[in-house]
Structure 1
């Protein structure tokens, strides 16, 4: 098994260009440092460093491995920081704003668990697809879909590769069929969501690098994403939902992905915070906690 102190020594040696300098930094003798690097090379069955009396340079294998070693050390450091934050007595009051669907079906449970881990912390939740103004409203943090536009906010990506999914229930498809092309969508019952102050009516799709934009029209419109999802699961029409919101429905078969050969709109999920929380232990702990939960759900 690889030793983390050997990895640390290798990264530091590459950064400083000297085994002796890396050894001094870590409080080791040059002889012990050389033994540690040789041990690492033996475990990897690859020479990482070319040594001479006057110079030191990485081999091709060493240069390739350095990025992975550096990432490993960074991840270990983040894990250690998270554990340390977990031991701190986080306290205070935070108001969080979040979208309705991921808010009601995931965040409310995760945030309750986070509060149980930090009982001196009070969390107030605002669940709505209407965008909260963090500069004017008494909101400290916002979980929000889409690329942040306000440069005055701290933006921490939670699910950067999330996209929208055109979907419908099997019952709806059995009764009305499925669109074969984006332009077929308006031949179906369309379920629409109000985003901000406007109805999301321009649905975009890409195929072979070509954009196709459809101006949709629907008889059912809601300003609540969870309502739109429930309509879709009930077989009332076709929806264009965030994949993160409907992962469990896709897994269970309650909803079916439509137009699978087309790329869809990017819908990254971010945690936004006001500047005064930039160095807050609460923000750091909460962002790490939510990131872990979302990655487990996304990959699971």
Structure 2
């Protein structure tokens, strides 16, 4: 029966490979050459193999040693990562948290969740920016942004928050009572469609994933805004049809203020994600916020 492998023996083995000799490894690890050699011999006995081919002039890895080396490194890397995770877990979550988010989602969905997160970590200083425009992470000094859709800038880091989120076509009961409900995407040409804009671009091309394939229709209406919250409020007031994220209209649907017009699976996929400027932005604070939001938003999109 093989003995259990000791982590310190693994460390000596990997350091010896990298340093090229027992004496050089011993100097790096601040132990004697005899202890270094003994650690490798103990590891060889535990594994039942020869890790090195020894000669008076040279120390080289055996074939078994070559095969075992990447696994030894993987074990040591995993141990280091585990220690770092524990260290991060002991760090107090505190300091400024600068976030950018869409207007409608931010005010009506994320704000109460962020209040809950701050209550659990009272030393956080929230700095929130509500905007439907694309944020500049560098000039605005943001820690993270929360955005719908796919990233145009591939240099940014994207972490899923609600990957299964979709758009929902809906209208208020009062609007449907006056104008009826569309039954196909083509019917939207007969309806007042409430649209939003980003910069100079108006989102008036609506895509639907029907059983017959993706259908794109260009819609029109008498109201357009660069604030998605305003567009939703117009819909609740019975002024037209709106094509909004499931997360944005969830509460309105549950309360009956809006009614879903097409099957849920027809909606255009609209994943929600947390975006950071680079990997170094993924501080323990940002990572804990992401884990918290991922759990809460999963509940909101699953019902």
Q: What is the TM-score with the length of structure 2 in the denominator?
A: 0.68
Structure 2: which 5+ residue stretches go unaligned?
Answer: 8-81
Distance 1:132 1:178, change over 3 A: same
Q: Report whether the alignment pairs 1:282 with 2:290.
A: no
Alpha-carbon distance, 1:262 to partner: 6.5
d(CA) in 2 for partners of 1:104, 1:154 = 24
d(CA) in 1 for partners of 2:137, 2:260 = 35
d(CA) in 1 for partners of 2:170, 2:119 = 36
- Residue pair 2:137, 2:143 contacting (<8 A) in 1 also: yes
Provide the residue aligned with 2:35 in structure 1.
none
d(CA) in 1 for partners of 2:210, 2:117 = 41
Alpha-carbon distance, 1:130 to partner: 1.1
d(CA) in 2 for partners of 1:298, 1:199 = 27
- Residue pair 2:276, 2:282 contacting (<8 A) in 1 also: no
Alpha-carbon distance, 1:273 to partner: 1.0
Provide the residue aligned with 1:115 in structure 2.
118
Structure 1: which 5+ residue stretches go unaligned?
Answer: 1-19, 28-77
Distance 1:115 1:26, change over 3 A: farther
| Secondary structure at 1:230 match in 2 | helix
Alpha-carbon distance, 1:209 to partner: 4.3
Alpha-carbon distance, 1:88 to partner: 3.2
Identify which of 145, 158, 163 aligns with 1:160. Answer: 163
Provide the residue aligned with 1:230 in structure 2.
233
Alignment length (residue pairs):
228
Identify which of 281, 293, 296 aligns with 1:293. Answer: 296
d(CA) in 2 for partners of 1:261, 1:121 = 38
- Residue pair 1:168, 1:237 contacting (<8 A) in 2 also: yes
d(CA) in 1 for partners of 2:252, 2:116 = 23
Bigger shift: residues 171-180 or 109-118: 109-118
Alignment of 1:82-101 (within 5 A): 88-101=91-104
- Residue pair 1:86, 1:285 contacting (<8 A) in 2 also: no
- Residue pair 1:162, 1:268 contacting (<8 A) in 2 also: yes
Query: Root-mean-square deviation (CA), in Å?
Result: 2.6
Alignment of 1:35-184 (within 5 A): 88-184=91-187
Distance 1:103 1:279, change over 3 A: closer
Provide the residue aligned with 1:268 in structure 2.
271
Provide the residue aligned with 1:36 in structure 2.
none
- Residue pair 1:130, 1:197 contacting (<8 A) in 2 also: no
| Secondary structure at 2:187 match in 1 | helix
Q: What is the TM-score with the length of structure 1 in the denominator?
A: 0.69
d(CA) in 1 for partners of 2:188, 2:161 = 31
d(CA) in 1 for partners of 2:142, 2:277 = 9
d(CA) in 1 for partners of 2:281, 2:144 = 11
Provide the residue aligned with 2:16 in structure 1.
none
Task: Deviation per CA, 1:98-151: give whole Å up to 9, x if none.
Answer: 001110012112112222222222110000111112133322210000012222
Task: Deviation per CA, 1:271-292: give whole Å up to 9, x if none.
Answer: 0012153441111111001111
Provide the residue aligned with 2:188 in structure 1.
185
| Secondary structure at 1:214 match in 2 | strand
Provide the residue aligned with 1:249 in structure 2.
252
d(CA) in 2 for partners of 1:101, 1:235 = 18
d(CA) in 2 for partners of 1:109, 1:168 = 25
Task: Deviation per CA, 1:23-57: give whole Å up to 9, x if none.
Answer: 94799xxxxxxxxxxxxxxxxxxxxxxxxxxxxxx
Q: Which structure: larger Rg?
A: 2
Alpha-carbon distance, 1:249 to partner: 1.4
Bigger shift: residues 286-295 or 114-123: 114-123
